[in-house]
Structure 1
Amino acid sequence: MHSVVLTKGVPDFREGQVSFDEDGHLERGRTPTVMNPNDEFALKAALQTKVKHGGQVSAMSMGPPGYADVLREAMTVYADDCYLLSDREMAAADTWATAITLSAGIEKIGEPDLVFAGFKTADGETGQTGPQTAWCLDYPIITHVIAMEVDEEERQVRAKRLVEGDVDEIETVTAPLPAFIVTDPEYEPSYRKSAHRLQKKRLKAETEERAEEYEEYLSTWDHADLNLDPEYIGLDGSPTIVSSVDPIPKAPAERDATMVTPDDEEAIEDVLETMRPFATGD
């Protein structure tokens, strides 16, 4: 059973990590890049498939060379190997040009049994790249998946999915392999057998060890390796036209900050007196 998991690097939107210019625009060069949070559910689904059916899990991303760190982060969740699709011809791609590139990378690997993707990315939030990649591959797709099982003999996947994002309405569907799975943030891996739980623990330990030397498991391909025409990828191959970009308004400061140095004993004492009622529950 071979699974490919698509992942992307996004700005670290945690408080204190995001940098904006004076107009409120995101400064990507000064904001750390992390793995898209929703992609972790896709990786967990692929790990569950490997635990129960064996095989291989490959993580794939399209982006600049720095996205190798994103793939290292993905490997800590679980991956046997990683693929980075990267060169200048792929830059500034919209979701359609990205899907074309990713589908070419998947086809170069071979024909996996399952391709996994997260629900949407934290920066674009379109949720389009996964379905468009499935269309390029001509794979059946199941979205909003919260649980799944694979029947190897019947060569099909059976999944439970949320209907229109309503957690109270769930439907069960099947699809033949190879298939494309978009996991929902409500996805819950199931390990009912003790043998599966022990296997998961062993695989997690192995992949965390691999992540320390992730470059040994990383393959980087450019557009020539994928036999892609530059006119159909990157900015040139992107039909999306962005009419405008609205800056993110800066939140007004609601609290004053008082700077205290460790050698100012009187100021430190004032801080302790201020905090003491909260520590005692008053």
Structure 2
Amino acid sequence: MRSIVLTKGVPDFSEGAVSFDEDGHLERGKTPTVMNPNDEFALQAALQTKVRHGGHVTGMSMGPPGYADVLQGAMETVYTDDSYLLSDRELAASDTWATAITLSAGLEKYQDEIADIDLVFAGFKTADGETGQTGPQTCWAMDWPIVTHVIALDIDPDERTLRAKRLVEGDIDEVETVEAPLPCFVVTDPEFEPTYRKASHRLTHKELRAETERRATNHDDYLTTWDHTDLNLDPDYIGLDGSPTIVSSVDPIPKAPSDREATMIDPDEDDMSDVLEEMQPYAAEAGD
């Protein structure tokens, strides 16, 4: 079973990690890049498929060279076998359409030169764009079936079919079961949870973890980078020139008001007994 997981690097929006300029605009160069949180569910679905049915899982991303760290993170945490990065300056400033064209070209090159693909997994949406368009648009370019909002799945290798449970209109109380032929796209929902009920599956999961820890330390040996010439892409149809989306305006992110008061204490000059007296009631509650 050959799976590709599409993943992306996004700014780390955790408290204290994001850097803004004085106008409230995000400074990407000063903000750490992390794996898009929703992509982790796609990776978990691919790993579950590998544990249950064997095979190979590849991480693929389009972005600057720094996204190699995101792919290495995918290998470390979800045990991908190798990584493919689609990267060069001609791809910069791509909207979802130009990104989908590039990713589909990467998938087609992979199929032509590496191996046939059975499944492509994608996250629900990205933390920085939140359009939810790239996965379905890439699927459209490949002309494959797609199943979205997947919360559980399994594969019938003999029949070459995917059987999945998916949320209907995003309502967790309404679930439908669907089938699709392979190859196909799977867009996981944040409610997806991998399951390993058999002892053999749990043992395989443990073995894969140990194997991948060794591989991830030498991630460069398992990383392949393709630029737009490798993918035979016309610069007029990728990057900014190939992006039909027009951004009419950008609103700055308002700075959250501080609603907490802080008292500064210098242990060399202030009496710490007042601090202990203030904290004692909270310590008592924790002990209860």
Could you say whether these structures have the same fold, taking a TM-score greater than 0.5 normalized by the shorter chain as the test? yes
Instruction: Give the aligned partner of residue 209 of structure 1.
Output: 214
Structure 1 residues 203 and 266 mapped into 2: Cα distance closer, same or farther (>3 Å)? Answer: same
Q: In structure 1, how many angstroms separate the alpha carbons of the residues matched to 2:17 and 2:70?
A: 16
Instruction: Give the aligned partner of residue 247 of structure 2.
Output: 242
Q: In structure 1, how many angstroms separate the alpha carbons of the residues matched to 2:88 and 2:235?
A: 11
Instruction: Give the aligned partner of residue 279 of structure 2.
Output: 275
Q: In structure 2, how many angstroms separate the alpha carbons of the residues matched to 1:4 and 1:60?
A: 7
Instruction: Give the aligned partner of residue 6 of structure 2.
Output: 6
1:52 partner SS: helix
Question: Which of 255, 259, 265 does residue 260 from structure 1 map onto?
Answer: 265
Instruction: Give the aligned partner of residue 26 of structure 1.
Output: 26
Aligned residues: 281
Residue 8 of structure 1, CA deviation: 0.4
CA contact (8 A) 1:19 1:31 kept: yes
Normalising to structure 2: TM-score of the pair?
0.94
Q: In structure 1, how many angstroms separate the alpha carbons of the residues matched to 2:272 and 2:105?
A: 60
Instruction: Give the aligned partner of residue 147 of structure 2.
Output: 142
Question: Which of 161, 171, 186 does residue 166 from structure 1 map onto?
Answer: 171
Where do 5+ consecutive residues of structure 2 fail to align?
none
Normalising to structure 1: TM-score of the pair?
0.96
Q: In structure 2, how many angstroms separate the alpha carbons of the residues matched to 1:212 and 1:271?
A: 45
CA contact (8 A) 1:6 1:117 kept: yes
RMSD: 1.3
1:239 partner SS: coil
CA contact (8 A) 1:94 1:240 kept: yes
CA contact (8 A) 1:10 1:122 kept: yes
Question: Which of 184, 189, 200 does residue 205 from structure 2 map onto?
Answer: 200
Residue 254 of structure 1, CA deviation: 2.1
1:159 partner SS: strand
**1:94-133 residue pairs with structure 2 within 5 A?**
94-110=95-111, 111-133=116-138
Residue 163 of structure 1, CA deviation: 0.2
Q: In structure 2, how many angstroms separate the alpha carbons of the residues matched to 1:258 and 1:235?
A: 49
Q: Which moved more, 1:61-70 or 1:263-272?
A: 263-272
Residue 48, structure 1, aligned to residue 52, structure 2: no
Q: In structure 2, how many angstroms separate the alpha carbons of the residues matched to 1:191 and 1:48?
A: 8
Q: In structure 2, how many angstroms separate the alpha carbons of the residues matched to 1:268 and 1:226?
A: 65
Residue 267 of structure 1, CA deviation: 5.0
Letter in 1 for 2:134: T
Q: Which moved more, 1:272-281 or 1:34-43?
A: 272-281
1:131 partner SS: helix
Letter in 1 for 2:187: V
Instruction: Give the aligned partner of residue 79 of structure 1.
Output: 80
